[in-house]
Structure 1
């Protein structure tokens, strides 16, 4: 699986469900076989998506998708969102 493959899976999941959680996406990178180039361990010891996956995902969304940091998921931008990619909820 390439970073682009995982980004496409994430985008499809977003289209189907309206949001996609980071844990769900990391799980896709880990199973059934570990794709170590798709994730990394951050400073807090959490497994997160690799930069290449995030870059590929950003190219797909054209600023239509926002990151909800407290709950660690992506969703479609709505009219009440503040400027910027990162949102509170």
Structure 2
């Protein structure tokens, strides 16, 4: 799976449910055994690959990332400007 394919898989999951948990996405991508798709950071957190995340962010300009819950969701009218809430 390429980074683009991984980002488009994430997009499909996000569009289907209206949200996407980072851990679920990273866990699925990690099973593909390609560190460009998912990796462990210095704190041993499982993360979505940076290239995948860059493409996903481009594909979802209206999504917001809830830092506390570690998930992306559809933007609400009450959200503050910016990607992270």
In the superposition, the TM-score normalised over structure 2's length comes to 0.91
Q: How many residues align?
A: 85
Structure 2: which 5+ residue stretches go unaligned?
A: none
Residue of structure 2 in register with 1:66 after alignment = 64
1:43 aligns with 2:74: no
In the superposition, the TM-score normalised over structure 1's length comes to 0.87
Structure 1: which 5+ residue stretches go unaligned?
A: none
- Distance in 2 between residues matched to 1:36 and 1:58, nearest whole Å: 19
Residue of structure 2 in register with 1:30 after alignment = 30
Of 63, 74, 77 in structure 2, the residue corresponding to residue 76 of structure 1 is 74
Residue of structure 2 in register with 1:21 after alignment = 21
- Aligned Cα root-mean-square deviation (Å): 1.1
Detail structure 1 runs of 4+ shifted over 3 Å in the superposition.
none
